[in-house]
Structure 1
Amino acid sequence: MHIRPLDPAFPIERQIAIDTSPVVLVNVFTLEKADEQAFLKVWQDDAEFMKRQPGFISTQLHRAIGESPTYLNYAVWESTAHFRAAFTHPAFRAKVSTYPSSAAASPHLFQKVAVPGICVA
């Protein structure tokens, strides 16, 4: 799988070095339509691994509507330290190579923002 930073100036490797909590991982995947079933199987394996890691809270996979084989994963973690430990774990890193060759991922970490009268952080 290819990693394409959402923000090339601040890729995931730089983000995981910042200690904060909680964090939300947003990861957009693009791939060829023929690879969708293989992608879903590998993603499920990854999600099962992540679910067992300390600090994991939840995840949800979304598929773009229509014909686009684009997926968005949203995962909540207690902290960047927890996510960093899972993301850099050798077992997880080994799984990355099992994604279909057409798959590209754009992972990025976010934090909730409080907007008065609209949402809380």
Structure 2
Amino acid sequence: MSHMKPLDENFPIQRQLAVDATPVVLVNIFTLDPADEARFLQVWSSDAAFMKRQPGFISTQLHRAIGESPTYLNYAVWESTERFRAAFVHPEFRAQLAAYPSSAVASPHLFRKVGVAGICTA
């Protein structure tokens, strides 16, 4: 992938990978040119298949923005940052990043669930 843009400039994905947490949710927002959507979906599908085979992977779901916005959101659940980190830095995955369209910009960020009394559980 030619571009990665942190959701939080002060705490990019590279720093997040050093934090031990279990479980974690990867949220990755992709923006791209409309003409590149078919290629993006092909490459993302290949990446998702690779991740699905990795230890610690739980699930993933890709979402597309409504209307004419070529914006995608990927939501992936992992057992831990340790497991996600191993997959994210794996040479096979890193090599695949170059296959994304040049217009694609990814903004990955790791999260943990938060419990709010009476609303949701952690």
Fold shared, TM-score > 0.5 on shorter chain: yes
Deviation at 1:86, TM superposition (A): 0.2
Deviation at 1:6, TM superposition (A): 0.3
| Cα offsets for 1:42-62 (capped at 9, x unmatched) | 000000000000000000000
Q: How many residues align structurally?
A: 121
Q: Which runs of 4+ in 1 moved over 4 A?
A: none
- Mapped partners of 1:95, 1:69: distance in 2: 21
- Residue 12 of structure 2 is matched in structure 1 by 11
Which residues of structure 1 form unaligned runs of 5+?
none
- Mapped partners of 1:41, 1:17: distance in 2: 30
Is residue 89 from structure 1 mapped to residue 90 from structure 2 by the alignment? yes
- Residue 40 of structure 1 is matched in structure 2 by 41
TM-score, length of structure 1 as denominator length: 0.99
- Residue 73 of structure 2 is matched in structure 1 by 72
Deviation at 1:96, TM superposition (A): 0.5
C-alpha RMSD of matched pairs (Å): 0.3
- What amino acid is the match of 2:71? T
The DSSP-based 3-state class of the residue aligned with 1:97 is helix
- Residue 28 of structure 1 is matched in structure 2 by 29
